[in-house]
Structure 1
């Protein structure tokens, strides 16, 4: 879909948003991104997204955006220029151009791109398929929202090939980690559970909101916990929280969101 994007200080048509041929984001995945749900110009959980981006940028040695108010203004203008009321905005920050090889230039000239698209309606439920791909808790790509997404892409391809909507990944020790693009939660005896970040989990913004809103038990859990759960659901910025109906074709829980979770997204 054609539209308007923001790239490195300019408003341009999306057909012209190509990166420099030397951009390390495109060549090496040297960069970060955030996906924000924007309603009537205001980004949902904006502060959480900016905090995560700043934290990841600092750890990976990237100059992150420092003007939160300015970024909020750009996002508001972006969706207005695209005449969108309920949108998904993709913020992409790369290390910018550099010489051939792994070494970054002495002075980075980072590249920032913002694009917007209409938000699709969340599904009523999703089907998961267990992936053969495993997440390493030591991997930066597991802990940060980097541009290096090949594991997630392959996991999703495998899941779709099995007739599922999303892949479920374990970590390298066999513990539940999460969906290919979502965090996973479950309910047992009325208590809410989710894997700890030490299980190769990306600290999602919706995940953080749930953890701040109610008691949640975090830890390392085997796959068997999902089989006996009263409810299983996945979360991300695009759809909030969605119940899981099946895993590899087997029914999980009730297929409904717990009332206390549904209330957060009412």
Structure 2
């Protein structure tokens, strides 16, 4: 069966789907995107992802292409037409098609919306097989990293360097302060030397991760403390445990950074518990009901 994409109001085989070469997303990266995990036919944390989409669009003065309710219908239709029950959905909204000019079109044009989906394996069952390695790199991205923009060249370059070194992610840091920001496409956490679960506070420097927010909500429900406080490379290197979160990583243990073990180099007890907590969130939390 051909993969089906939603492109500007039409459901088309992906082999036939296209966008205009003067779409501002192609010309300037003038757009916003979201990635949502579909588990057993249910979009995980859909409300968080659509809220972040709407916020990011507002930050670049771009209207939602349709109401949230209508967009939810499109997301479900794309999954149904592709017969996908376990997958990753990608949606992208750009400022649309206009004559190439850096400033916004003088006459507003309709925003462009593209939605695709692909099958992926279900939530992993073995946390020890889910562990991975990272490298560290200076954070070279633009100043408004809280906006989920399609401008991802620095992220791509960082991920490529990680791959070349046998790692799955690059942990980025501010060169001036040596303070860790986040992963190239993930939120980065540590369990520090005192046992505190920590990740950086939110501002314009990091993306407000939806998986980050969902995990924090679960921790609050369970009465487990966490600390939204930045940490340095040195503190990271002294950490007992480390992990990343995202819609594709869920809770992924990081047991090696820059070739050196994190803690004892094994999946630690805190991350092991968080992995199980988030598995329950993905598979059955009532907040995710369709």
Name the TM-score, length of structure 2 as normaliser: 0.85
The answer for the alignment partner of 1:99 in structure 2 is 99
Of 196, 207, 223, 2:201 maps to 196
1:186 Cα shift?
1.2
Partners of 2:226 and 2:51 lie apart in 1 by 21
Mapped contact 1:175–1:223 kept (Cα < 8 A): yes
Report the CA distance shift for 1:21/1:83 in structure 2 as closer, same or farther (over 3 A).
same
Of 166, 182, 185, 2:186 maps to 182
Question: 1:131-185: per-residue Cα shift (whole Å, max 9, x none)?
Answer: 244345xx12x21110100000000111112221111111343210111110011
- 1:241 aligns to 2:251 (yes or no): yes
Root-mean-square deviation (Å): 1.9
Question: 1:114-134: per-residue Cα shift (whole Å, max 9, x none)?
Answer: 100012455611110112443
Partners of 1:191 and 1:158 lie apart in 2 by 30
1:68 Cα shift?
2.0
3-state SS in 2 of match to 1:58: helix
Mapped contact 1:135–1:177 kept (Cα < 8 A): no
Where structure 1 has 5 or more consecutive residues not aligned to the other structure, the ranges are none
Mapped contact 1:42–1:72 kept (Cα < 8 A): no
- 1:225 aligns to 2:235 (yes or no): yes
Of 255, 260, 276, 1:262 maps to 276
1:234 Cα shift?
0.2
- 1:149 aligns to 2:127 (yes or no): no
Partners of 1:24 and 1:69 lie apart in 2 by 26
Report the CA distance shift for 1:190/1:133 in structure 2 as closer, same or farther (over 3 A).
closer
The answer for the alignment partner of 1:80 in structure 2 is 80
Report the CA distance shift for 1:66/1:192 in structure 2 as closer, same or farther (over 3 A).
farther
Where structure 2 has 5 or more consecutive residues not aligned to the other structure, the ranges are 220-224, 281-290
Higher strand proportion (structure 1 or 2): 1
Report the CA distance shift for 1:66/1:110 in structure 2 as closer, same or farther (over 3 A).
closer
3-state SS in 2 of match to 1:15: coil
Partners of 2:48 and 2:278 lie apart in 1 by 16
The answer for the alignment partner of 1:108 in structure 2 is 109
1:261 Cα shift?
4.7
Partners of 2:140 and 2:111 lie apart in 1 by 31
Name the TM-score, length of structure 1 as normaliser: 0.92
Mapped contact 2:187–2:244 kept (Cα < 8 A): yes
Of 119, 136, 139, 1:130 maps to 136
The answer for the alignment partner of 2:18 in structure 1 is 18
Partners of 2:154 and 2:238 lie apart in 1 by 28
Mapped contact 1:41–1:77 kept (Cα < 8 A): no
3-state SS in 2 of match to 1:263: helix
Of 158, 163, 168, 1:165 maps to 168
